[in-house]
Structure 1
Amino acid sequence: MADLEQALAEVAAEMAVSEDRGEVATYIPQLGRVDAKKFGIAVATNDGRVLTAGDADEPFSIQSISKVFTLTLALGEKGDALWKRVGREPSGNPFNSIVQLEHESGIPRNPFINAGAIVVSDILLAGHQPRETIGEIVHFLRFLANDEAIVVDREVAASEQATGYRNFALANYMRSFGNLTHAPELALGVYFHHCAIAMSCRQLALAGRFLANGGRNPDTGHSVVSPERARRINALMLTCGHYDGSGDFAFRVGIPGKSGVGGGILASVPGVASLAVWSPGLNANGNSKLGSLALEKLARMMNWSVFAPRG
């Protein structure tokens, strides 16, 4: 097994000179303005170390990575009753598919596709105003990362709201089946804003530590979720975290991960470390092209696959 600091430096150096970096998301105008040459990576180990390389301290739009944290909050409020409204199976379809939702009577396949995350946003509203719910989500992330600098990028949120026609269609369709209890525009207000949260790789890796540490914050020993719930969230990340590219990510990288169209990926090596990587260019499935490759190389060098023998 390689030395972690050396392996991280080697991976970052290789990514820095890569010419095939994918394409930035342009359907959200603000994301289309991000420099495709950016690359950052951070690893927060369970023994308290934080190692970084590249643009690891530059905030970026975490987009669908936020769905890991909203799911965690919603499970805390509803427990297993949540699964009556959202499934737990890989989608096999693009993240914004309407066809699949029609076939399944308004029940999203999993909480990480757009429709599923809109239902989770509806659950978190629970009669509150969107502003209050968004504030709770941001507060939760600040608590996990121990960093008050985490904020919503208002320009990205406005950009998403102005162009999110497919998401409006998904929300209205689920409302017609009775799977949204609030007005679609209210659930979408929460959804657009939590996707527009800006964080750095360092902040994300720190926020995700509870997933790699049996549900506990390794700094304080505070229980964020039960060990069983941490295992289940990790399982959903492994099977559903990269949309219709989830199987390929599990095959190549072999650790739980959740991507976002801002080019970020949050990953977990249970018992070892939390990782975050950012490279804005995306592959055909809407996942970070170099981010996926970097995690594949680092996991191989460190023997971090959940399918590899330990010891």
Structure 2
Amino acid sequence: MNYEDVLKTIAGEIEPLRNAGRQADYIPALAKVNPDRFGICITTVDGEIFERGDVDERFSIQSVTKVFSLSMALSLMGEKLWKRVGKEPSGAAFNSLIQLELDRGIPRNPFINAGAIVLADVLMSALAEPEADYLAFVREIAGDDTVGYDRDVAASEREKGYINAAIANMLKYYGNLENDIEEVLRFYFLQCSVEMSCRQLSRAFLPFADRKSDFAFGNVRLTSS
């Protein structure tokens, strides 16, 4: 496949839509992000890199972080993880309180906010230094020690994180949160604030794409099959 042509085609299709969307302005720090930035990067399992646009521009990866959280939590807990979070489509908004109440505090999957907050709690219980250990894992999988948290974004998200706070309280009410609510929320928002570029993200997902990969970091092991 000619990836250069693929990226050129995608860029051409997206260009007319440049002014069609907007940032997540309900989070003050994200409302300040330059909406004109655009980058794509493909890293193949053979080590080839194809890129276009602002591939070195860093941004808070937000919900992309849930993939890293799940990989860590599943590696550490194994099948026991699925007793605390499901693995089915939600069919509702990513931050639905109604669905969480109907399901009595068991999130439908790890990629909605309730599920990701449970994962943050799992990691807090399993890791000696959750904040440092999580960032070290992301740096290792990305092969770049410059990856870091954007603490301004994390603080901004907590300031306006009313629904996520309500989710965390409901999880606690149903016994699906072991740690202090405020500490779990703080860690969850820090995870969302991890700042990376397209190139770094592309590299970080290689262990999930390469069936021959056997990535290990401390007690975390990702084995593709």
TM-score in same-fold range (> 0.5): yes
- The residue aligned with 2:147 is 150
Q: Which amino acid aligns with 1:112?
A: F
Q: Specify the SS of the correspondent of 1:30.
A: helix
Corresponding residue for residue 40 of structure 2: 41
Q: Hey, what's the Cα distance between the residues in 2 that align with 1:215 and 1:186?
A: 37
* In structure 2, distance between residues paired with 1:64 and 1:71: 11
Which residue identity does 1:57 align to in structure 2?
Answer: D
Of 189, 192, 212, the residue aligned with 1:192 is 189
Q: Report 1:1-311 matches (<5 A).
A: 2-126=1-125, 132-214=129-211, 216=213, 224-228=221-225
TM-superposed CA distance for 1:183, in Å, is: 1.2
Residue by residue over 1:171-226, the C-alpha shift from the partner in whole angstroms, topping out at 9 and shown as x without a partner, is 011101100011111111110100001100000010000111127169xxxx9412
Note if contact 2:90-2:109 (Cα within 8 Å) is conserved in structure 1: yes
Contact 1:144 1:217 survives alignment (8 Å): no
CA shift, 1:7, in A, is 2.0
Shift in Å, 1:19 = 4.0
Alignment check: 8 A CA contact 1:16 1:39 kept: no
Is contact 1:24-1:31 (8 Å) kept? yes
Q: TM-score with structure 2 length normalisation?
A: 0.92
Which TM-score applies when normalising by structure 1?
Answer: 0.68
Question: Counterparts of 2:82 and 2:187 in 1: how far apart (Å)?
Answer: 20
Q: 1:215 to 1:20 in 2, by over 3 A?
A: farther
Distance 1:182 1:81, change over 3 A: same
Q: How many residues align?
A: 221
**Counterpart of 1:45 in structure 2: which amino acid?**
T
Displacement of 1:10 in angstroms is: 3.1
Unaligned runs of 5+ in 1: 229-311
RMSD of equivalent CA atoms:
1.8
Write out per-residue CA displacement over residues 258-310 of structure 1, whole angstroms, 9 at most, x where no aligned residue.
xxxxxxxxxxxxxxxxxxxxxxxxxxxxxxxxxxxxxxxxxxxxxxxxxxxxx
Distance of 2:137 and 2:127 partners within structure 1? 17
- Residue 150 of structure 2 aligns with an amino acid whose one-letter code is D
The 8 Å contact of residues 61 and 196 in structure 2, kept in 1 or not, is answered as yes
Aligned residues of 1:209 and 1:217 also touching (Cα < 8 A): no
Contact 1:44/1:209 (8 A) holds in 2: yes
2:74 aligned counterpart, secondary structure: helix
The residue identity in structure 1 corresponding to 2:112 is I
Deviations 1:120-160 (A, max 9, x none): 0000011767xx21211111111111101100001000101
Distance 1:75 1:147, change over 3 A: same
Tell me how far apart the structure 1 counterparts of residues 214 and 135 of structure 2 sit (CA, whole Å). 17
Q: 2:156 & 2:24 partners in 1: Cα distance?
A: 12
For residues 215 and 72 of structure 1, do their structure 2 counterparts lie closer, same or farther at Cα, with a shift above 3 Å needed?
farther
Kept in 1: contact 2:18–2:36 (CA 8 A): no
Distance 1:16 1:172, change over 3 A: same
Secondary structure of 1:173's counterpart equals: helix
- Partner Cα distance (1:151, 1:96) in 2: 26
- Code of the residue aligned with 2:106 in structure 1: it is I
- Unmatched segments (≥5 aa) in structure 2: none
Deviation at 1:37, TM superposition (A): 1.5
User: C-alpha distance in 2, partners of 1:106/1:10?
Assistant: 44
Q: Which amino acid aligns with 1:115?
A: A
> Would you say the 8 A contact 1:88–1:109 is kept in 2?
yes
